Structure 1
Amino acid sequence: MQSARFMNRRGFLGSTLGGLAGLALAGVAQAQSGPVIKIAASRNAAAPVWNLANVSERFGFRVEMSVLFTYAEQARAAQTGQTSSATCGIDTMATVADQGIPNLRYIAADQYGGQNLVMRAGVEAATWSGLEGKTIGVVPGTWARVLFLIAAKEGGADIGKIKLTNVSVGATAQEALRRGNVDGVVLFTPQCDQLVAAGIGHYPPKLDIGASSLGSANSGLLATTELLSDKPLATNFMRAYLASMQEVQDVAVFTRLVTNLTG
C-alpha cells in the first residue's frame, strides 16, 4: 500500500443537485450543545475530516457529515448553503475562480498521496516509456489522471502512444483489470489499495505519479464565507481540524477510522 501523509481530490459545477436531496438547508445549525457544522465528504478518503466528529466537541461545536461521492457534489453542497464545508480536489479552486463563485474559500490542505497507477498482475513496466502501447484506464476529470499524464510525460514517455480508456471508480475498473481489458488503472485509495490487496494488480515500484513536478497533493478543505464570518467558530473549527490531523497520524487511530468508513 502506498503511504499517505496527512497535512495537506472534478468537473466542478457540472453536477446536478440530485445527490443533495437528503441534506438539510442550513450549513451551520444550532443544537443544545452548541453549533453544528455540516461537512460534505465521501467515504473514500479525508481521514482528518471524518475524524473531526471525534474531537469537535472539545472545541465547542459538533460535526454532521453529509456523504456525497464526488468533489463536484460536495462543493455544490457548500456553494448552495446546504453544508458549510466540503472536501475538494486540488484543482477545485481554479474552477471556483473561473466560474466567479463568491462564497467558497480554500482553507486547508487535507492529504497527500493515496492515488497511483496499478498495473495488472503479470504486467510489468520498469519505466514510463514502458507504458507506450499499453492500455491504461483513467477516471475522467480526476486529479489522479492529471498527475499520471504529467508524471508519464516528465518521465520520458510519449503519452500519445499510451492508450487511455475511461473507467469508472469501483467494480468497473476492477473488472476491466481482472479481465485484461486494460493493462493498468489510475485510481485513488481505497480502490487502488483494494486491487493490490486482492492480488489483481500491483504498484510498479519505479512509477509513482506523486513524484511528478506537481507533487503528490491529493485534496483540500473548503469553507463558506458564512462560516468564516463567525470568527470564533471558524477559529475553533481550524483548531479542531489540526487536532484531528494529529490524531490520525497514529496508525491505530487511522486504521480504525478508515475500516469503519470503508469496511
Structure 2
Amino acid sequence: MKSLRTLLTIALSLTATVALAVGPSPAPMKQKEVLSVGFVKVGHLAPMLMLEEELKKLNIEVKRAEFVRYADARTALLSGSVDVSAVGPGDLAIVAAQGSKNLIGLTGVGSSNKFLVVRKGVKIDEWGDINGKKIAIAPGSAVWFQWAMTLIEKNIPYTSFSPVNVQGGGTAFVQAMKRGDIDAMVLWEPFESQAVAEGDAYFATKLDYSQSRSVGAELGMLAASGEAMATKKELVRRFLWAYLKVEEQLAKNNDQFADAYAKYTGLPLNVTKESAKIIKLGGVLNKEQVGRLAEAAFKQGIVQKDVTKEAAELYDDSMAKEIKK
C-alpha cells in the first residue's frame, strides 16, 4: 500500500510538471513586426532581460519603453503608447473604475513573502511593536495596498504607526533608512534585500503582509493594451510565450535567476542572490483574486465605485494557459 501511494504521488507530481511546462515555440512571423514593450526594472521581471533575443528568433523587433512605476506603465498601456508591459494586479480595478477596457491582464509573474524591513537597532518582532514607529510607505503602490489590507484583516488600526510618505523609487527608501529618518519600510525587491545586505536593516519575519485574502502574494501582472489584443494578438501571443519560456528557465536555476536579476536591475550580485531566494517566479494571480482586489479597493475608497465584476473580466489568462501545456 505504501509503495502504491508513493507511485501515485510521483505520477501526480509528473503530471503537474507536464501541465505547467511551456509548450513548443510558435512559428516566426512571416515578416518582421514591431512590438512596443514596457520595462519596469524590478527583480521579479528579470525574464525581460532575455526577452528581445527570444523574440528576434520569431521575427519580432522590440521597441523598448522603460518605466519606474507600474502606474506609469498602466498609463502608457491605456494611451496605446506601449503594446505590452507589466503592471500591478490592482491596476485592473483602477482601469475598470475609469470605465476603460483598454488594458487586459494576461498572467501573474511571481510571488513572495513580504516582511516589514526594519532598521538595525529598532525592535519590531510582533505586530504590536509597530505602535508609534515611523514606517515609510509609497501611497497607492501595490505593496502599500498589501500592507494596508493586512492591517485591516488583522484588526490593527492604521493609526498605530506614523506613516512617512516617500516619493520616487526604492532608492529613496534605502537612503532614508541609512540616514535613520525611518524605523521601518514597506517596500519591494530588490531594495528590501539591498538594505539588509548592506547591514542597515533586517527582515521582521513575523510580520508577513503577503497573505491577506484581499490582495494575496502576487507581485505583478503582464498586460496588453486592448488595441494590441485586437490588432497584434499573434505578436502578444509570441511575447507571452517568450516571457514564460525564460521565466520557466530562471525558475529552475536560482543562480541563473540571480545573475539575470543583477544584469536587469544593475544591482550587485550579492544583493540579487539574497533577493532571488525570496521571490518565486511564476504567477499566482487568477480572476477571483482580481475580483477580491477590486472589492477591497472600493471598500477602502481607492476606487470610487464597485467594479468587482468588471475588473475580473479584464483578466484573461486563457492565452497563458494555452502556452503552458
Normalised to the residue count of structure 2, the TM-score between the two structures is 0.66
- Asked if the contact 1:34/1:60 (under 8 Å) is kept, the reply is yes
- Asked if the contact 2:38/2:86 (under 8 Å) is kept, the reply is yes
Change (3 A) 1:152 1:125: farther
Deviations 1:9-46 (A, max 9, x none): xxxxxxxxxxxxxxxxxxxxxx9962121111221231
List structure 1 segments (4+ residues) > 4 angstroms apart after TM superposition: none
- Following superposition, the deviation at residue 235 of structure 1 comes to 2.7
- Following superposition, the deviation at residue 171 of structure 1 comes to 4.0
Q: Which has the larger radius of gyration?
A: 2
* Root-mean-square deviation (Å): 2.4
Q: 2:234 aligns with which of 227, 232, 235?
A: 232
Per mean C-alpha deviation after superposition, the further-off stretch among 41-50 and 125-134 is 41-50
- Following superposition, the deviation at residue 184 of structure 1 comes to 0.2
Unaligned runs of 5+ in 1: 1-6, 8-30
Q: 2:34 aligns with which of 36, 43, 48?
A: 36
1:258 aligns with 2:261: yes
SS in 1 for 2:207: coil
- Following superposition, the deviation at residue 195 of structure 1 comes to 0.5
- Asked if the contact 2:113/2:210 (under 8 Å) is kept, the reply is no
- Asked if the contact 2:170/2:188 (under 8 Å) is kept, the reply is no
CA distance in 1, matches of 2:216, 2:243: 23
- Following superposition, the deviation at residue 68 of structure 1 comes to 1.3
CA distance in 2, matches of 1:102, 1:212: 27
- Following superposition, the deviation at residue 208 of structure 1 comes to 1.2
CA distance in 1, matches of 2:248, 2:111: 15
SS in 2 for 1:94: helix
- Following superposition, the deviation at residue 190 of structure 1 comes to 1.1
Length, aligned pairs only: 234
Per mean C-alpha deviation after superposition, the further-off stretch among 188-197 and 155-164 is 155-164
Per mean C-alpha deviation after superposition, the further-off stretch among 145-154 and 188-197 is 145-154
CA distance in 1, matches of 2:84, 2:68: 15
- Following superposition, the deviation at residue 104 of structure 1 comes to 1.7
Unaligned runs of 5+ in 2: 1-19, 21-28, 267-325
- Asked if the contact 1:40/1:65 (under 8 Å) is kept, the reply is yes
- Asked if the contact 2:170/2:187 (under 8 Å) is kept, the reply is no
1:198 aligns with 2:201: no
- Report the equivalent of 1:64: 63
Counterparts of 1:52-201 in structure 2 under 5 Å? 52-113=51-112, 115-155=114-154, 157-168=156-167, 169-201=169-201
Deviations 1:212-263 (A, max 9, x none): 2232111101112232234433332322222122122122331221111222
CA distance in 1, matches of 2:113, 2:155: 23
Change (3 A) 1:109 1:130: same
- Asked if the contact 2:137/2:164 (under 8 Å) is kept, the reply is yes
Per mean C-alpha deviation after superposition, the further-off stretch among 234-243 and 188-197 is 234-243
- Asked if the contact 2:116/2:205 (under 8 Å) is kept, the reply is no
Deviations 1:148-205 (A, max 9, x none): 1222343453332211111133443223222322110111011111101101111012
Deviations 1:78-126 (A, max 9, x none): 2222211111011111111111223221111122127542000121222
Give the AA of the match of 1:237.
F
- Following superposition, the deviation at residue 71 of structure 1 comes to 1.5
Name whichever structure is richer in helix by fraction.
2
- Report the equivalent of 1:241: 243
- Asked if the contact 1:114/1:189 (under 8 Å) is kept, the reply is no
CA distance in 2, matches of 1:57, 1:44: 23
- Asked if the contact 2:108/2:221 (under 8 Å) is kept, the reply is yes
